[in-house]
Structure formats: C-alpha cells, structure tokens
Amino acid sequence: MTNDMKKGEDFDSSNLVIFLYKWRKPLFFVMVFALVGAWFFSSPLFITPKFRSVVILFPAGSSSISKSLLSEPAGASQDISAFGEDDQSEQLLQILNSNKVRDRVVRKFDLMKHYRIDSTSDFKNSRLIKEYENNITFRRTEFMAVQIAVYDVDAQYATDIANSIGSMVDSVKNEMMRQRSVKGFQIVKAEYLNLKAEKEKIVDSLITLGGLGLNEVEYQSQVYNHQYAIALMNGNKNALAAIQKKLDVLGKYGGVYLALKNSLEYKTEQLTILETKYKQAKVDAEETLPQKFVVSDAYKAEKSSYPIRWLIIMVSTVAALFMAIIVIMVMEKISNYNTHKQFQLGQS
C-alpha cells in the first residue's frame, strides 16, 4: 500500500510538472503582466506615498507631586524618577486615544484642510476621524513603552504631529488631574481656614478671660483657697473679701476657661495635621510634573514607508499565477469532459 501511495504521489507531482511545463508560456505572460501591473498601480500615480514618524514614551511612575516629594516616607512607587508599569501604560494609551488629544491635534495642524475634507459635507467629522485613525496610531510595545506612529504625505508634517502629540500628553493629563486637585484643594482650604478661624476665636476668648485674671485655673484655685484659709485664720476681712471676689470669678468662668483651653489644644493638633494636607493639596493644584519619559523623538523620514511596493508586487504576482493555474485547470477539466462526452455519443 505504501508503494501505491508513493506511485500516486509521483504521478501527481509529475502531472503538476507536466502541466506547468505545458502552460509555461501563458503562465509566464500572466506573471510578467501581473508584475508590471502591480508595479505600475502601486506607483505614486495611483497610491500616494506616506512617510512614517515615531515617538516612543515611557509613562511616569507617579503623578502626584505631594506624594512624591512631600510625603514621609516616600515609597518606591512614588519616586518621580521611576518608570510606570502596566496600569500607567494603559492610562497613557487611553489619554492618547481620547478626543481631548485628537481635537487639539486637529486644531493645531488644521487636519480638516490638510486631509482635503470638504468642510461643508454632512459627514466631515466622520471622515476626519477615519483619516485621523488611519494615519495616527498608538500601541504598547513589548517593553511596556508607548509608541506613537504618524503617517503623512508630508514627512515634516508627520514628524511635527508625532512630536506634538508626545508633548500634549503632559498638558492633557495634568489638566485632567488639576480639575480634581483644584477641587480637593478648595475643600481642604475651606476646612483649614474654618478651623484656623475657630482657633483664633478661642484664643481671643482666652485673652478676654485672662483680662479677668484667669490664667491657670487649676493652680489659681489651689493658691486662692490656701490664701483664703490663711486670711480666715488671721481674721483679715479685707483679704477675705478680695480673695472671695477672685474665687467668684474663678467659679463663674473657670469651667469655661478649662473647656476653651482643652478645645484649643485639640484644634491646634487638628490644625497642624490639616495644615500639612493644605500645603500638599496646594502643591498638587498649582504645580505640575512631566507625565512621561521620552525615549525617542520623531525625526523626518528620508523615504516613504507606505505603500510597501515589493510586498504588493509579490502578493499580486503570486495571486495572479495561482488564479491563472486554477482557471487553466478548470478549462482543461471542461474540455476533457466535453471530449469524453462526444466520444461516448460517437460510440452510441
């Protein structure tokens, strides 16, 4: 059985060789025609060449200035010089694909006009977005970096767009973060100022009580009672009256003084904590950090990257040969069938 299979394979292979040799001239002309046709139709006359410029970025590991610089202790994940990981790369890709970046690029480079889109068309925005997505792409590399690739008919235009998008990452992300940081700062600032005002009111009240002779209520109470006992033993009525007056004031305002003093200590502790948060929130709201590390800037390409003519020519030529072989085989089968049918009719 093995020998039969080998014979069948040899037979099939030899038939194929015979078939190709038999039709070598038509197939050769098809190949030449396909090659010339693919070369001609992939030329700039039919496909406009495009130049490619690439920017490669690494996302920053930390986005918060206060956490990176003002918090103690600062962890490795908060180091401003640390590269980002998967989450930061995904966030960066989402920002790059956002309409915030796209709209800025469209306005800055007037892409509606550059892509020759009719501004009066009902579908101008759809066409613009399609052209933008076809010519500008973002992807994550195998090393967790983010690649910005721009194709354009103008090499300098492609370079400028790619570098501008790389620069826009900072402004767009910082703007998004600042919206939240400013709101957070306003909340902390209001609480800080309210607590500070409350503390100042308590201090003013304690100053007023101090004018009445209240300074250290616990100590004063012991001293006055001791002096009152001595004056009572000595029968010193004037001293008793003076001390009693002080004791009356102490009894009337002593509890208030102690409550205010305890409240002042508590609010001072809270204000110290809140002041730290206030300073951190202020820094986050007013200052910014670069949100990426630029590994490679875009440069002006010297030759076009699209279309890949050799690939078009090769695929077109192979496809034409394959189709030609299929058509010839079908034609031979039909011819053989008709010949066999006529032979049967002749015999009958």
Determine contact, residues 39/307, Cβ cutoff 8 Å.
no
Nearest to 208 by CA among 260, 273, 142, 157: 260
288: helix, strand or coil:
coil
Position 4 scores a pLDDT of: 45
**The tokens of 81 are what?**
């010089």
Beta strands in 22-177 (DSSP E): 51-59, 136-140, 146-152
In a domain, 342, yes or no: no
pTM (whole model) above 0.85: no
pLDDT band per the 50, 70, 90 thresholds, residue 1:
very low
Residue span of the structural domain in which 77 resides: 51-183+289-296
How far apart are the C-alpha atoms of 59 and 170, rounded to whole Å?
10
Q: Which residue has the higher pLDDT, 179 or 227?
A: 179
Task: Flag whether 7 is in a domain.
Answer: no
**pLDDT range class, residue 11, cuts 50, 70, 90:** very low
CATH of the domain at 75: 3.30.70
97 assigned to some structural domain: yes
Helix, coil or strand: residue 130: helix
Tens of pLDDT, residue by residue over 68-118, are: 555 555 444 455 566 666 778 888 889 999 999 999 999 999 999 999 998
Element (H, E) at 171: helix 155-211
Q: Is the pLDDT of residue 247 over 70?
A: no
48: exposed, middle or buried (Cβ count in 10 Å: 0-12, 13-18, 19+): exposed
Judge whether 347 lies within some domain. no
- Say if 2 falls within a structural domain: no
* Amino acid at site 254: G
| Within a domain: 148 | yes
User: What is the pLDDT, as a whole number, of residue 156?
Assistant: 92
Whether 215 is in a domain gets the answer: yes
Residue 105 maps to a domain: yes
197 and 90 part of one domain: no
Domain count, the chain: 3
